Structure 1
Amino acid sequence: MFMPILPQSSIDRRSLIRGTAALTGALALARAFPAWARSGTVGGTVAPDVLSGDLIRLTVGESHFATGGRSAHAVTVNGVLPAPLIRLKEGQNVRLAVTNRLKEDTSIHWHGLILPFQMDGVPGVSFPGIRPGETFTYEFPVRQAGTYWYHSHSGMQEAMGHYGPIVIDPAGPDPVRSDREHVVVLSDWSPVHPHVLLKRLKQMGGYFNMQKQTLAGLLAGKDQSAKERLQWGAMRMDPTDISDVTGATYSFLVNGHGTAENWTGLFTPGERVRFRIINASAMTNFNVRLPGLPMTVVQCDGQDVQPVDTDEFQIGIAETYDVIVQPGEAKPYALVAEAIDRSGLVRATLAPRIGMAAEVPALRERPLLGMKDMGMDMPDMPMPDMHGGHDGAMGGHSMKMRDKSAAPQVKMGPGVATLSPMPVDRIADRPTGLEDVGHRVLTYADLKSLTPNPDQRTPTRSLDIHLTANMERYMWSFDGVKLSDGAEPIAFRHGERVRVTLINDTMMPHPIHLHGHFFELVTGAGGHHPRKHTVNVLPGGKLSFDLTADALGDWAFHCHMLMHMHSGMMRVVTVRHEGEGA
């Protein structure tokens, strides 16, 4: 469109300021929050717009959203971001009528809920999706309690605001005692459309990494030595490549609020305050802490765990953690969610009254990946042989990481840059970026289920699944095969008990989610292994879980980093009766 060039005298500074103020005001009006997510809330249980009952109506539509001086198109539910809080009761039946007002198909996946596969909400796997102008009614019994969430499984709508929390109250007494609770939804937000972000990553894998090593870092002794840099450079690997999409484009949010907007949850000194924390991000794993205020973890992925005290924990994308804090002083406390690459953070406030703001901590020094993150943490282990390897990886120069026969099911090719030579079980390791902090950090090994595991049979078979990638080319897969390349379903027989081992052959953590099931993470806790639906696999490491395939149907299984899933790191899991085809 032609824009005339106006003479300089026709635009003065005062007019520009007035125009900017009007735009800012309009954007502020466009920021519609549900009552449970507004700053100054006394707690999510009494918000007037919490949706409950046997019939719940949701409308997916277009809105605008603004934060931190950025604004863009958003996909919202009932016109708000985050979406409405849904509160259900264990044992009830619920119908959720979802109307699509978008110009494209949409869907809702009920993340972590046990339900018939036809109600799971994954287009192309469990149902066709919801076309523009249509209404689809989900209907299922509520078979569990805890903290969960819901989001679109269509396109990249999840990254544009289509996500919201679910709280399910137990049918009997709640084993977690609290005086007040706050629902906390963490997310990342960019004014750049997610398809554009993905395109840029495919053009250059490190496009958003603004924290690469510098000469100043070398001279200050903060980064790798010159020799290490040459070795890593020869392997075409970057020890600062920790997050694909970073604070260079993302604003990090608590309940839709950035740091300056200061989401505030209220408390009275001495109360036991329960935070239901959900990571609804598209691409960001967060490290969560309340400086000066210890936390007691009481639930993970909606499942009660034996209380464990900590000062900080990492929450992978799509995980949930419930924690109890007990602030004794009438002062503001910071709730800090820091991106694991330290490219940004969001600070919210827990306060005795509205208007208080906790201190915003400085970003901590960004971490560097090491040999263990390459699956090479062995004493005196030499750097990889830069000759040989498989064709097509790293432009013909790949790490000779491991003989191909060590992982015969992996399809080698340009989409698989490396296979970790010595992946180790990292279940008890502090997660990425928290290896050296001077306070308590939660690990998966600290988690024990509150009640005994329901199925303690010994698995009858085992299955290895490799998390594979060429990070430089931004290609992601399971066992070297993208879903779009005709990946075969992962087949289970109904009721069988299987030990699944996830082996991370990449240098990035991956939150892996299985729909329709819970599994027991093998931690050495005997009959009290923590039950989860999403697990973050550390780089160069492996972990195992025991699965009872008790849900018939077709289920999605994928990395919950949205752009990894869309780039191929996804499979379909089928559960069939013995004798039936996959």
Structure 2
Amino acid sequence: MTDLPSLPLDRRSLIRGGAALALAQAFPGWAATGTQDAAQGALSGETIALSIGDGHFATGGRSAHAISVNGGTPAPLIRLREGQYVNIAVTNRLKEDSSIHWHGLILPFQMDGVPGISFPGIMPGETFIYRFPVRQAGTYWYHSHSGMQEAMGLYGPIIIDPAGPDPVAYDREHVILLADWSPVHPHRLLQRLKQMGGYYNMQRQTLAGLLAGKDQGLKDRIDWGAMRMDPTDISDVTGATYSYLVNGMGTAENWTGLFAPGERVRLRIINASAMTNFNVRLPGLPMTVVQCDGQDVQPVETDEFQIGIAETYDVIVQPGEAKPYALIAEAIDRSGLVRATLAPQLGMVAPVPARRARPLLGMKDMGMDMGGMDMGHGGVIDLSQPANDAMSGHAMKMRDKSVAPGVKMGPGVATLSPMPADRTADRPTGLEHVDHRVLTYADLRSLTPNTDLRPPTRSLDIHLTANMERYMWSFDGVKLSEGAEPIAFRHMERVRVTLINDTMMPHPIHLHGHFFELVTGEATHNPRKHTVNVLPGGKLSFDLTADALGDWAFHCHMLMHMHAGMMRVVTVRHGEGAA
């Protein structure tokens, strides 16, 4: 292999170099020993060594055991270049098996890092060497796929510079790694949720909220109670136990990214949370989205966006004044937030806004987008009545096998969305009524034309199913542990996959080893993604070219949903699969 050419020392490189000391101070875990990119404090080159071990993490006056990589939490920033080859030696110094998955990277399936699917895992004391060519550019990340180690700190960012000119013009960049953290072990969190699905929901409606007119009226409460549903059940694990982090720091630690007034600053925003979808904004500073899931998109300006777990968004901001600006990542149920600061110098602190009023779910979130239909009961369908009566014959039966062919009905499927609607153009959960611009998937268009414009030869519906009260999660009513059959594709076939969310919370669904085109209206420029956040009661479609041979994981990226069963194996084979 030949060495990659060195980068010319241009103005951008000088600015990055001048900020290196501040970055090293801001990311102590990202200046690990090994080959270093001096401008970023990153691990780089053709040979990289990572050591997984026990550690400790503290924030906001709380501390607990954590999992570290090269002695730090979060894990080190890895910086690569499109077209290079990389060997990453991962040593497991834990007393349990471990692994690393390279999220969003296109590589041989044996290097994908999912125990039991693509490799055996890394046993205690062993070293596994991941070897693969770097075939893409953009913002990505890596994390454990063993147990729930990801929730304990085994996650880190990956930045891949393009082989040629970058289509995005910027003067300075910062990596923004969002995360949630609890001093309670994730297995204990899951145990509590199985005992009571709303264990961490401290924002239920109250009598005071009813009297103040802030919550549902009495009639709506009675109707929702009859359906055994809670309109405040938006997040499973909340700010009641979670601290929210930017680059491993809470609001009090005030992570700070520097800028000079007038600069174009690129923020590479990664949601590495275990269970939290965030709404992201910089009050007083518009954001121009230029990349999503590592794929360049046509620039679109917005004031706020929702980032699902495992998604990435690159945005350009251009601060005009020499003052601190707040970067806010607020949990979608608004049970907590984290504030970081963009500032012209270290030591400045941006204000922390008050948390906004927590949202309430509505009929559309139950898959009952009936428009102006008169449903009785003040517009609320009473599911305690027989389905045909409750829905006036306009919708399909609930809990009826004829509703969704292929869905295994049982105690793990509490409801099916009667009338799921395509929600790619909808504002996401909690942002329906804010008085500023909000990004939707329909706003995203790929920067360059998509290359495979063949029409799909078949379609496939996959239901996201659950019994939220019992904390049971699945695809099509079947958990992975129940012997779910693999989802089979023929190599290079073109398939339209429709995800139907039969639950009342959004699910970020990730397919390993592939990118797909989210169907938003214009096939030539449908955005390419590896993770999509399916809104409650809604559906969305993507077109997939099954171009990666092997066995791949396909799952909800809410860690505890995946762990509880919302996961399948996708197989891609020559000449196999559906006709």
The 3 A distance-change label for structure 1 pair 190 and 47 is farther
Q: CA deviation at 1:365?
A: 0.3
Greater Cα shift, 572-581 or 467-476: 572-581
Corresponding residue for residue 544 of structure 2: 547
Q: How does 1:482-521 map to 2 (within 5 A)?
A: 482-521=479-518
2:134 is matched with 142
CA offsets 1:170-220 (integer angstroms, 9 cap, x no match): 000000000000000000000000000000000000000000000011011
- Change in Cα spacing, 1:226 to 1:409, as seen in structure 2 (3 Å) is same
In structure 1, C-alpha distance between the alignment counterparts of 2:169 and 2:550, rounded to whole Å = 37
- The DSSP-based 3-state class of the residue aligned with 1:228 is helix
What SS does structure 1 have at the residue aligned with 2:455? Answer: coil
Q: Equivalent residue for 2:436?
A: 439
SS at match of 1:452: coil
Hey, what does 1:3 align to over in structure 2?
A: none
CA offsets, 1:507-532, max 9 Å, x none?
00000000000000000023000000
Per the alignment, do residues 123 and 420 of structure 1 end up closer, same or farther by CA in structure 2, a change over 3 Å counting? same
- 2:375 is aligned with what amino acid? M
Match of 1:384 in 2: 382
From 307, 311, 315, give the equivalent of 1:315: 307
Compared CA separation, residues 152 and 196, structure 1 to 2 (3 A): same
User: Residue 244 of structure 1 aligns with which residue?
Assistant: 236
Where does residue 271 of structure 1 map in the other structure? Answer: 263
Residue matched to 1:537: 534
Cα distance, 1:161 vs structure 2:
0.3
Which of 131, 151, 159 aligns to 2:151? It is 159
Structure 2 counterpart of 1:102, from 81, 88, 94: 94
Whether the 8 Å contact between 2:24 and 2:30 is mirrored in structure 1 is: no
The 5-angstrom pairing of residues 8-407 of structure 1 reads: 37=27, 46-47=38-39, 49-378=41-370, 379=372, 380-382=374-376, 383-387=381-385, 401=398, 403-407=400-404
- Look up the match of 2:393: none
Once the 2 structures are TM-superposed, how far is the Cα of residue 49 of structure 1 from its aligned partner? 3.4
The 1:289/1:462 distance shift into structure 2, 3 A limit, reads same
- Shift of the alpha carbon at 1:48? 6.0
Instruction: Choose the corresponding residue for 1:571, options 568, 571, 577.
Output: 568
Checking the alignment, whether the CA contact within 8 Å between 2:99 and 2:145 is kept in structure 1 is yes
- Give the counterpart letter for 1:158 in structure 2: E
SS of residue in 2 equivalent to 1:73? strand
Letter in 1 for 2:204: K
Q: Deviations over 1:40-93 (max 9, x none)?
A: 99xx97456310000000000000110001100001110111110000000000
> In the alignment, is the contact (CA less than 8 A) between 1:50 and 1:87 conserved in 2?
yes
Equivalent residues of 2:226, 2:383 under 8 A apart: no
| In structure 1, C-alpha distance between the alignment counterparts of 2:328 and 2:383, rounded to whole Å | 42
Question: Which residue of structure 1 aligns with residue 17 of structure 2?
Answer: none
Q: Aligned pair 1:412/2:414, yes or no? A: no
Aligned length: 540
Shift of the alpha carbon at 1:408?
A: 1.4
Alignment equivalent of 2:421, drawn from 419, 424, 430? 424
* Mapped partners of 2:545, 2:486: distance in 1: 17
Shift of 1:389: 6.9
Alpha-carbon contact 1:402-1:420 (below 8 Å) kept: no
Between the aligned partners of 1:458 and 1:227, the Cα distance in structure 2 is: 48
Give the 3-state SS of the residue equivalent to 2:146 in structure 1. coil
1:460 aligns with 2:450: no
Contact 1:54–1:94, Cα closer than 8 Å, also in 2: yes
Q: Cα distance, 1:361 vs. partner?
A: 0.3
One-letter identity of the residue aligned with 2:207: L
Q: Secondary structure at the match of 1:331?
A: coil
How far does residue 402 in structure 1 lie from its aligned partner after superposition?
6.4
Instruction: Return the offset for 1:38.
Output: 5.2
Q: Distance in 2 between matches of 1:455 and 1:82?
A: 37
Distance 1:388 1:575 in 2: 43
Q: CA RMSD in A?
A: 1.9
1:234 Cα deviation (Å)?
Answer: 1.2
SS at match of 1:405: coil
C-alpha distance in 2, partners of 1:413/1:34? Answer: 53
For residues 342 and 352 of structure 1, the distance between their equivalents in structure 2, rounded to whole angstroms, comes to: 29
Distance 2:329 2:542 in 1: 28
Mark the CA change 1:141 to 1:377 in structure 2 (over 3 Å): closer, same or farther.
Answer: same
Helix, strand or coil at the partner of 1:271: coil
Deviation at 1:37, TM superposition (A): 2.4
Do the aligned partners of 2:29 and 2:74 also contact (CA within 8 Å) in 1? no
- What amino acid is aligned across from residue 37 of structure 1 in structure 2? F
Structure 1 residue matching 2:561: 3-state secondary structure: helix
Structure 2 CA distance for aligned equivalents of residues 294 and 196 of structure 1: 40
Deviation sequence 1:454-477 (CA, Å, 0-9, x none):
211000000000000000000000
Give the C-alpha shift of residue 35 in structure 1.
5.2
Residue 34 (structure 1) shift: 6.4
Change (3 A) 1:419 1:82: same
C-alpha distance in 2 between matches for 1:134 and 1:251: 33
- Does the CA contact (< 8 Å) of 1:468 and 1:505 recur in 2? yes
Q: Deviations over 1:83-121 (max 9, x none)?
A: 100000000000000000000000000000000000000
Residue 525 (structure 2) aligns with: 528
Rounded to whole Å, the distance in 2 between the matches of 1:343 and 1:454 is 42
CA distance in 2, matches of 1:414, 1:40: 46
Aligned sequence identity (%): 83
Is residue 266–residue 351 contact of structure 1 (8 Å, CA) maintained in 2?
yes
User: Which digits, 9 at most, give the CA deviation of each residue in 1:439-463, with x for residues without a partner?
Assistant: 0000000000000012110000000
What is the CA–CA distance in structure 2 between the aligned matches of 1:163 and 1:123, rounded to whole Å?
Answer: 16
SS in 2 for 1:414: coil
Query: Structure 1 129/455 Cα, relative in aligned 2: closer, same or farther at 3 Å?
Result: same
CA distance in 2, matches of 1:47, 1:483: 44
Cα 1:361/1:39, change in 2 over 3 Å? farther
Q: 1:267 to 1:46 in 2, by over 3 A?
A: farther
What SS class does the counterpart of residue 43 from structure 2 fall into? coil
Amino acid of the structure 1 residue aligned with 2:398: M
3-state DSSP class of the match of 1:406?
A: coil
Question: 5+ unaligned residues in a row in structure 2: which ranges?
Answer: 1-22, 389-395
Q: TM-score, normalised by structure 1?
A: 0.91
The corresponding residue for 2:15 is: none
Q: Residue in 1 aligned with 2:472? A: 475
The answer to whether the 8 A contact 2:227-2:383 is kept is: no
CA distance in 1, matches of 2:430, 2:29: 30
